[in-house]
Amino acid sequence: MNPIDRELVIWLNGLQGNATFIDDMARVIATDYLMPLLFSLSMFAMWFAISDRERRTRAQYWVLIGISSIGLSNVAVVLFNVAWDRKRPYEVLSEIELMFYRATDPSFPANPVAIGFAAGSAAWMVNRRFGYMIFGAALIYGLARVYAGVFYPSDVLGGAAVGIAVTWGTTYIHRLFQPITWLFVRLVRGLALG
Amino acid sequence: MTPDPSDVQALFARHYFYFAALATLGTLQIAVSIGGFRGLWLLPGRLMTRYLGVVLIIAGAALFFLMPLWVEGPWAAGSVEADSSTRLWGRADWGDLGAARNVNDVDGGLSGTGQATWFPLSALIAVIVSALGGLINRKLLPDRFERNEAVANRFGESDGLELLETSDYLAAVKRSWSRFKVELADDARALLALSDRWSITVLAWRRWRQ
């Protein structure tokens, strides 16, 4: 195991117990529900929030790429898991105090961070500031899970890399089937929602 | 007694749906208030609509995370620190709220696939509710729409969400759909021409034409 990874997870996880409020916030942020919903909502908002048609059509194209990337990131994470069954920090390090449920899948790469970075990459292509906000939320999500003792920092970095790489790859998959994505956006405009 | 995972899953799915429905409706209200698509506003004013959106998102999150206080589930007071497979059924205390929702999907928590099913349904409901809200707004405050419509007519034909700046959803979908049907063939040809030569669709189209 990478000693920096080991030291960082022990240090961050060792901070718990100092402030109940921070522990509770970390638990809420680390749930399977809050942040993934936030990432989905960010894609939903991007579809509707732009008044200029040309910019909005471009944003909607990236929303479709973002949604596909979220799905494909999960597939990429499963493939990594098959190749490398990395044990969770609480399974390997006796110093770790688990603050979350006992996850049954491998640790690397961090799946929730991968989907956050997939959504963030699509948002970044439309609006840099919005993209950075989603990247920030995904990093906080990952750090909350390191704090809870279920991920190593390198899992978070790996998840971020997977999310960005999958989004980049997904643009080529969409291009492979073009103009289907553009026609879908056109169809939704025909329903007065695009 | 430890809870049955199928009971836990049904409970989580229901609660997640409440959360997602309120949050998607709130997000849609914020987005359409920024975009200026009045036909989807639940309230007559832009700022009011935006504030309503914020309130709906906060209400959705608060409801989801506070519900264990009054709804029985796999979060009985004092048992949430245990692994999610060994928790007890009951109501949570304030101190248990942070951990109450941390239940593994193999023990009944909602999986990513489950969330991917409920979220689009919530989004669809949010759009329907917003379209109905826009219709009611138009009936109650017709002059606001008419004033905008007069301005829009000066700029010629439009379709899609632009129409919702000046009209309600039913009027917008009628006009957009008729334009879509007329323009589909031309649009498809133009978009095929813009696609990469190595696109499967382009290759299939060329082969079919030969």
| Domain span holding position A80 | 3-190
pLDDT-flagged residues of chain A (< 70): none
Residues B64-78: pLDDT tens digits? 999 999 999 999 998
Q: Is A187 on the interface with B (CB under 8 A)?
A: yes
Which B-chain residues 92-121 have CB contacts (< 8 A) with chain A? Answer: 95, 97-99, 101-107, 109-110, 112, 115-116, 119
**Strand pairing partners for B90?**
B73, B74
Instruction: For residue B8, give the nearest of A101, A21, A146 by alpha carbon.
Output: A101
The Cα–Cα gap between A159 and A71 comes to 14
pLDDT of B157 reads 62
Complex ipTM: 0.94
Question: Which residues of chain A have a CB within 8 Å of the CB of B198?
Answer: 176
Q: How far apart are CA A137 and CA A113, in angstroms?
A: 9
B148 pLDDT above the threshold of 80: no
DSSP secondary structure letters along A2-42: -HHHHHHHHHHHHTTTS-HHHHHHHHHHHSSSHHHHHHHHH
Q: Report CB contact under 8 Å: A179, B188.
A: yes
Number of domains in chain A: 1
Over residues A105-126, the pLDDT tens digits come to 999 999 999 999 999 999 999 9
Q: Tens digits of per-residue pLDDT, B35-68?
A: 999 999 999 999 999 999 999 999 999 999 999 9
Number of domains in chain B: 1
Half-sphere exposure of A63 (CA within 13 A, CB side): 22
CB atoms B106 and A44 under 8 Å: no
The whole domain housing B68 covers: 1-210
- Residues B9-36, mean pLDDT to the nearest whole number: 97
| Residues 6+ positions from B181 with CB-CB distance below 8 Å | A190
For chain A, positions 31-50, list CB contacts with chain B under 8 A: 31-34, 36-37, 40-41, 44-50
Would the pLDDT of B145 be above 80? no
